Amino acid sequence: MKADAPGAEKSEFDDSMWRTLNVPHDWSIEGPFAQTNKTGGAGAFLPSGVGWYRKAFVLPEETAKQCMFVEFEGVMANSDVWINGHLLGHRPNGYVSFRYELTPHLKFGKGATNVIAVRADTSAQPASRWYTGAGIYRHVRLVTVEPVHLDCHTTFVSTPEIRSNMALVRFQTRVANRSLKEQSVSVMATIQGPPGSAPDGSYGCSGETKSTIIPAGKTVDVSLDVRIPWQPRLWELARPELHTALVRVRSGNETQDEETITFGIRTAEFTSDRGFVLNGKKVMLKGVCLHHDGGALGAAVPLGVWERRLAELKALGCNAIRTSHNPVAPEFLDLCDRMGFLVMDEFFDCWTVGKNRFDYHLDFEKWSLSDLGDTVKRDRNHPSIIVYSAGNEIHDTPQPALAKRILARLVKAYHENDPTRPVTQALFRPNASGDYTNGLADLLDVIGTNYRDKELLAAQQAKEGRKIVGTEQRHDLETWLNCRDNPSHSGQFLWTGIDYLGESRQWPRNSHASGLLDRTGAPKPLAYQRQSWWTEKPMVFVARRVAADDLMPTDPGYGGEERHTQVTFNDWSPHNREAHPENVEVYSNCEDVELLLNGRSLGSKKKPADDSPRKWTVTFQAGELVAVGRSGDIVVKQTIRTAGVVAKLVLSADAAQVSPAWDDVVFVRARITDENDNLVPASNNLVRFSISDPGQIVAVDNGDCMSTESFQGTERKAYGGCCVAIVRATASTGKITVTAEVDGLLIKGSAEIECRSANAK
């Protein structure tokens, strides 16, 4: 695909002004950062404007009788799409997936070139409270089908009956007849279970509808029930078993169209007494809120990045994701299905009252129902999704008549498109707006509120039958106890799981540092406090605290800067190396924790009933600080050591292999260490990376939210002694060698990565 220089409008396509590139593509992340960029701190001080894309292609004559569509998973934003000069449509929301039919405007045969052109416009700013990216930042595909085919996203798979010895799977779909004559068709569905799911080893069962006549140019809705006649393998967090269904449209014995749907068999419900229940068992939602960007990669995020990030969150005990505050890419939901995450699928950061001059409130009345419907139909087959959210901190709610009218309409649309899942909303100051008493909250299937946990619990107690969930929460101990100690509370979603670009109110800060993980995917020390609350496997983590935590918000609002300063450090290397008191705290779920300094015990502490960290005041002495956790016969320990002078640069790759697939990347982390491989956290040296063929460095980062260094290029200053290079393969065979150097260090770092084909395991 070709794209022109962002910000430039053109009256005609001049090849000299285009560059060839691959999509997905986010041109805004290329920068530069500038305080004068119209996006401001909300948009990470990165550029906005107009970008043009075009793709030329030739179609063989034999495809002329077929139907062809172009599908976009997301274009940021205000997109217009043309085929051969014909305008196909406009879509203002940059997060929704959409498609257009190309068929009437195509040319066929040798020498007949077709051109798709896309204009994406983010020039009107401010338009968001966080970084959005710009351009065709998600996947695009051309889809060719026969005139008789399944309509896009109309196949809905549900499981209305699940028993110990069977499951009933219901298929609802729509068949289109775009031919010039009536057609007699049937719909067949074949279910493939996970290995070992069928007693006879066949794993498959199927059903087929009776033949139906579809007039030319019409559609017909079809429903089909298929019975799995044995104990179904359930989709669960620890074992997210997935089934697939091959759905085919048949005319006689000939298949006209087919699609494969992945789904899970499970029950999920929110209750007023037990909180959230999955497959009959209470599950506390230990969730995080996530924005859609990938740090140095911007909004065009390879799936491999999300897989690594989610694996880190899962290791911390996280089991749920809130998609803040917009639809995510569909492959992100595929990943949640496979990895066993529960998802709150959220849409709308505003309704008719805007939070920015040029945000979605300008388009809400015209586009909200179609955007919502398209998104729900796209997402509803994912077993990971357990609830939809109709909005985040909506500023219409101080006008109850307006807000209730809108919310009733949205909830109805959710239920019409997916009657199997409940709807919530992240309420905005509900006590101030009267949402709990004026009827608005009770329009929701599950009442959600941001930050005001005690008010939410009180609202549940005030009216029998209310179901609640914390849609956005602080990281602090009190917030955790509000959930832990109230069985009727479904759970919480921390703000946030990972640092994200934007939502800054002060230059040069360009990222929001509220995450358990930093932008590079590395856990912060306080992430391990959360792990001590969220996991049962014995763990221990020792940290050095230099100050009290910054105050987290106790109430939604946008008046002040949220610093989220890092004040705990997993090192025994303070700037002051003289004897002085250091505040040490240990995060652990073990019954007993002992702290030792250079082999000398500083005492043991039992697990507090309120889950607070165990604390010691330690007179600093260079050497080794060890925390030892004991639970019965299980012993775990963690050691931190005083670092010496900078001596080495150590590189490590987070994967041994990489393919040339766009979604596959490897993070190569550079650590500046002393001669004993102890990280030197105070080092901020400039690290210069280089790479051999067949590889390329696609971005560099260090997680520093105050740095305005470019993510492009091959060098980055260390932050906390570390930085990363993100690497992609350019071939399916060979070996990539990544090296790095720092001025003054004789020992360079290196890492090797094997190339593999995209289909190899």
Beta strands in 563-606 (DSSP E): 568-569, 581-588, 592-597, 600-606
Judge whether 393 counts as a catalytic residue.
Answer: yes
Q: Greatest CA span in the chain, whole angstroms?
A: 90
Contact 545, 528 (CB under 8 A): no
The active-site residue, picked from 472, 503, 585, 594, is 472
DSSP-derived secondary structure letter, 332: H
Phi, psi of 757 (to 5 degrees): -75, 160
Contact 191, 206 (CB under 8 A): yes
Judge whether 346 counts as a catalytic residue.
Answer: no
The active-site residue, picked from 73, 346, 393, 585, is 393
| Cβ within 8 Å of residue 191, ≥6 positions away | 169, 204, 205, 206, 226, 228, 243, 244, 245
Residue type at 92?
P
Contact 197, 203 (CB under 8 A): yes
Cα–Cα distance for residue pair 587/541, rounded to 1 Å: 5
**In whole angstroms, how far apart are CA 217 and each of 103, 178, 179, 213, 251?**
14, 5, 7, 12, 16
Cα–Cα distance for residue pair 556/69, rounded to 1 Å: 43
Residue with tokens 């994701």, as numbered in its chain: 321
- What's 655-698 look like in SS3? CCEECCCCCCCEEEEEEEECCCCCECCCCCCEEEEEECCCEEEE
Element at 367 (helix H, strand E):
helix 364-379
Cα–Cα distance for residue pair 315/663, rounded to 1 Å: 22
Contact 267, 162 (CB under 8 A): yes
| Cβ within 8 Å of residue 592, ≥6 positions away | 604, 605, 606, 607, 629, 630, 631
Q: Is 602 exposed, middle or buried (0-12, 13-18, 19+ CB in 10 A)?
A: middle
Cα–Cα distance for residue pair 393/316, rounded to 1 Å: 28
Cα–Cα distance for residue pair 500/293, rounded to 1 Å: 7
End-to-end C-alpha distance for the chain, whole angstroms: 29
320-324-326 Cα angle (round to 5):
120
Contact 359, 349 (CB under 8 A): yes
Contact 407, 425 (CB under 8 A): yes
Q: Which residues are part of the catalytic machinery?
A: 393, 472
